[in-house]
Amino acid sequence: MDVSLADIAERLRAATSVLLIAHVNPDADALGSSLATAIALESLGVEVQVSFPDQPFDVPLGLRFLPRSDLIVAPEDLRPTELAMSMDASSGDRIGRLLAVGEQAPTFIAVDHHASFVPFAPLVHADATRPATGLLALDIIDALGVELTPDMAVCLYAAICSDTGSFRFASTTPDTLRTAARLMETGIDFAAAAKAMFDTKSRDFLRLQAEAMGGLEVIHAGDVDVAVIRVGREDRDRHGIAFTQVESLIDAVRTVEGVEVAVVLKEDDHGIWRVSSRSLGAVDVGRACTSQGGGGHVMAAGFTGTADPDATLQGFLDAVASHAP
């Protein structure tokens, strides 16, 4: 059932305990939205927990600056909760082993902004017109009547900044920028947040990036030129880089001149290959990834493939060719 954000706020306020769920391999939008909402609820006396389904369970390096990490609990340590709410997950498989936890809660809600959203909770609020779930989280916090604090604001700023590509993506609206200004007015160190997310890389990571970019291919998918790099588990292990750090390589691939789609084909810790993709504008990568069992936006999307990297990539390329304008 579709519900309003005001209704969600009422249900959250009435609950004695709440679990906020971010999707697997959480980005700043998922974890920032969850933490900001959790901080707001805690101020109302609600017992709150934040979690995500990753195994091994570890906060991504680029998100460790977010405040109130003490609210984050590994799935195996979660306490029973009266209400569970996923934030920024486009489908049930995106919250993995926590889907069952949500389904066991007396109230289960999903809040999301992806065009590819597939309902998986009894109560849902999905708004693909909003460029980040962080904007929906702020609406919930306002509906709760809670004063916006710097801790909430930095989490939300990170969420919105991340999903708008530092406010460079076409999804950025005037309202997005007005919201960012409101968050900045709380006194947050927004420059430090941006540096932590986008501009801080270890030397080992940069060596991996140089190696991966050295193997870059430009492949024709019908009439579409696709830039592709591959990062296997052995590549990561050789440089001591966690799987969650590989996602940011897409920002380098998308700068290749003359291509319309950028792809990072990456192997996770279980030997499964995944695709992260970005469109430079002409191609709807969200449709292509949805056809492969994943999802996302027109400009940014991904999916989980198989243990065969070539088949995983070919499936995506075929989908791009078939969905090309």
**Pair 163, 227 in one domain:** no
Query: Do residues 165 and 207 both lie within one domain?
Result: no
Each residue's pLDDT tens digit, 171-223: 899 999 999 999 999 999 999 999 999 888 999 999 999 999 999 999 999 99
Residues 179 and 53 in one domain: yes
Does 21 share its domain with 154?
A: yes
pLDDT digits (tens, 9 = 90+) for 115-164: 889 999 999 999 999 999 999 999 999 999 999 999 999 999 999 999 99
Query: d(Cα 153, Cα 248) in Å, to the nearest integer?
Result: 23
Which CATH number characterizes residue 36's domain? 3.90.1640.10
Residues 38 and 109 in one domain: yes
Q: How confident is the model at residue 323 (pLDDT cuts 50, 70, 90)?
A: confident
Q: Which residues of 277-312 are buried (b: 16+ CB within 10 A; e: fewer)?
A: bbbbeebbbbbbbbbbebbbbbbbbbbbbeeebeeb
User: Where does 185-249 have alpha helices with state H?
Assistant: 190-198, 203-214, 233-239
Tally the domains of the chain.
2
Question: Is the Cβ–Cβ distance between 316 and 289 less than 8 Å?
Answer: yes
Q: Are residues 296 and 167 in the same domain?
A: no
Residue 231 has pLDDT above 80, yes or no: yes
Per-residue pLDDT at 324: 76
- Pair (16, 128) in one structural domain: yes
Domain of residue 81 covers 5-198
Q: 274: which 2 tokens? A: 């995944």
Q: Is the pLDDT of residue 281 over 90?
A: no
Q: How many CA atoms lie within 13 A of 169 on its CB side?
A: 22
Above 90 in pLDDT, residue 240?
yes
The reply to whether 232 and 186 lie within a common domain is no
Which residue is listed with tokens 């609020």? 125
